[in-house]
C-alpha cells in the first residue's frame, strides 16, 4: 500500500520539524506542523513514559486531521539524578532555565558519575494503527553551557569533547536520539512504500 506523501508532526516546534523534514525528505514526504495541518489541539501529556506521551499526542492530532501523524516524546535521563528529569524534561524548569537548574543540581557530581542519555520515542499512527520507534544518544553532563546550535539541554550535554549545541545540524542529526528514531521511521516508511 502506498502511503500518502503528507505526514503531520504533532508539534509546532521549528527545530523538531526541521530535523524530521531533513531526514524524511529523500522519501518525498512533506512533513507538516500540526498548525499547518489545521490541528488546534494540545493534549494533556500525562503518560508515565515517553511512549505513552507520544501515543497521546499522535492520536489527538491524527483524530483532528485524518492524515498519517507522528509525534515524539523525548527527554534527558541523568544517571546521578536517578533518571531525572526524564519524562518531565520539558517541565523540569521554566523555559530557558533548564540548563542552569541542571548544572546547579549536578555541581557536586564528579566526572565519572555525570553520565546521561537523551531518549526519544516516536509514534506513527494512520488508519491501520500505530507503531513506535525509539532512539537514544549517550553522553555526559558538562560543567558549563557551550555552543549555540541547539536548544533545551543541548548546551550542557557532552558528546565526546563537544556539547550537542556545538555540533553542526548534520553532525547532530547523525547521532541524536530523535535522529535515530526518525531513521527507524524512515526505514519503516521506505519498506512500506516498497522502495
Active-site residues, by number, are 73
Q: Which element (helix H / strand E) includes 35?
A: helix 34-37
Q: Is residue 34 assigned to a domain? A: yes
H helix intervals, the chain: 14-24, 34-37, 50-65, 98-105, 169-175, 177-192
Mean pLDDT in residue range 118-135 = 96
Per-residue confidence band for 1, with pLDDT thresholds at 50, 70 and 90: very low
Q: What CATH number has the domain bearing residue 130?
A: 3.90.950.10
Could you give phi then psi for residue 53, rounded to 5 degrees?
Answer: -65, -40
Strands 162-163 and 157-159, bridge-based pairing: antiparallel
pLDDT tens readout for residues 52-92: 999 999 999 999 999 999 999 999 999 999 999 999 998 89
Per-residue confidence band for 170, with pLDDT thresholds at 50, 70 and 90: confident
Q: Is residue 12 assigned to a domain? A: yes
Per-residue confidence band for 195, with pLDDT thresholds at 50, 70 and 90: low
Q: Is residue 127 assigned to a domain? A: yes
Residue 8: pLDDT above 60?
Answer: yes
Number of domains present in the structure of the chain? 1
pLDDT value, residue 2 = 42
Task: Give the domain extent around 57.
Answer: 6-192
pTM of the model: 0.86
Q: In what order do the strands lie in the sheet with 162-163?
A: 30-33, 6-9, 69-78, 115-126, 129-141, 157-159, 162-163
Q: Is residue 1 assigned to a domain? A: no
**3-state SS assignment for residue 58:** helix
Q: Is residue 75 assigned to a domain? A: yes
Amino acid at each position: 500500500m502506498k502511503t500518502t506523501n503528507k505526514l503531520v508532526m504533532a508539534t509546532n516546534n521549528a527545530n523538531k520539524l526541521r530535523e524530521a523534514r531533513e531526514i524524511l525528505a529523500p522519501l518525498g514526504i512533506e512533513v507538516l506542523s500540526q498548525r499547518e495541518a489545521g490541528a488546534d489541539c494540545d493534549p494533556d501529556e500525562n503518560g508515565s513514559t515517553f511512549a505513552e506521551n507520544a501515543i497521546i499526542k499522535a492520536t489527538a492530532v491524527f483524530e483532528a486531521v485524518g492524515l498519517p501523524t507522528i509525534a515524539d516524546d523525548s527527554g534527558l535521563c541523568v544517571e546521578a539524578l536517578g533518571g531525572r528529569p526524564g519524562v518531565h524534561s520539558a517541565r523540569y524548569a521554566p523555559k530557558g532555565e533548564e540548563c542552569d537548574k541542571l548544572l546547579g543540581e549536578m555541581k557536586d557530581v564528579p566526572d565519572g558519575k555525570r553520565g546521561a542519555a537523551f531518549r526519544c520515542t516516536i509514534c506513527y499512527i494512520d488508519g491501520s494503527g500505530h507503531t513506535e520507534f525509539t532512539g537514544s544518544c549517550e553522553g555526559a553532563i558538562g560543567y558549563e553551557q557551550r555552543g549555540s546550535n541547539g536548544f533545551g539541554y543541548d548546551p550542557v550535554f557532552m558528546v565526546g569533547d563537544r556539547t550537542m549545541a556545538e555540533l553542526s545540524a548534520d553532525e547532530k542529526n547523525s547521532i541524536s536520539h530523535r535522529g535515530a528514531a526518525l531513521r527507524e521511521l524512515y526505514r519503516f516508511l521506505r519498506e512500506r512504500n516498497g522502495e
